[in-house]
Amino acid sequence: MTIRDVAGILEAEVCCGEDKLDREVTSAFGSDLMSDVLAFAKDQQVLLTGLVNAQAVRTAELMDMSCIVLVRNKKPDPEMLALARERGIALLSTNKTMFLSCGLLYAAGLKDRGLPENA
C-alpha cells in the first residue's frame, strides 16, 4: 500500500508531502501519546494521532515513519507543516476518528507489527 492509498482510504487531505505519496507503507501505529510511540512502535511507517504539534513530527522522524495522519479533523499549525516538509514526512488530515481510521487501514491490509516482547 502507498501513502496515496492511505489518503484515499481515509478520504484525507494531503497537507504536505505530495511528492511522497508513492512511498510504500506496510504498517501503522495509532496514539496521542508520543511516549507510547517511542516505547512501543516497531517498524511502523504511518503514525495516526490527534496530536497537532512539532513533537509528533520529531517523534515520527526518530522512529523512521514516513507519514503522519492527523485524525478527528485536526489541522497542522505552520510550525508542524514546516518541520514535516523539512524532514520529508508526508502529513495527512482526516475527519475520521482514530478508531475508525485504524480499522479502515487494517481492513485494507495495513498491519500492526505488535508490541515488543518486553512491553
Q: For the stretch 55-73, what's the b/e string if a residue is b when 16 or more beta carbons lie within 10 angstroms of its beta carbon? A: ebbebbbebebbbbbbbbe
pLDDT at position 39, please?
87
Look at residue 118 and tell me if it is in a domain.
no
Look at residue 69 and tell me if it is in a domain.
yes
Q: What does 46-112 look like in DSSP terms, one character per residue? A: EEEE---SHHHHHHHHHTT--EEEE-TT----HHHHHHHHHHT-EEEE-SS-HHHHHHHHHHTT-B-
What range defines the domain where residue 57 resides? 3-107
Look at residue 97 and tell me if it is in a domain.
yes
Look at residue 115 and tell me if it is in a domain.
no
CATH value at residue 64: 3.40.1390.20
Question: Which of 76, 88, 61, 69 has the alpha carbon at shortest distance from 31?
Answer: 69
pLDDT at position 53, please?
93
pLDDT at position 43, please?
80
Which parts of the chain register pLDDT below 50? 118-119
45-46-51-52 Cα dihedral, nearest 10 degrees: 90
Look at residue 112 and tell me if it is in a domain.
no
Look at residue 119 and tell me if it is in a domain.
no
Q: What is the pLDDT of residues 72-93, one digit of tens each?
A: 999 999 999 999 999 999 999 9
Look at residue 114 and tell me if it is in a domain.
no
pLDDT at position 83, please?
97
Number of domains in the chain: 1
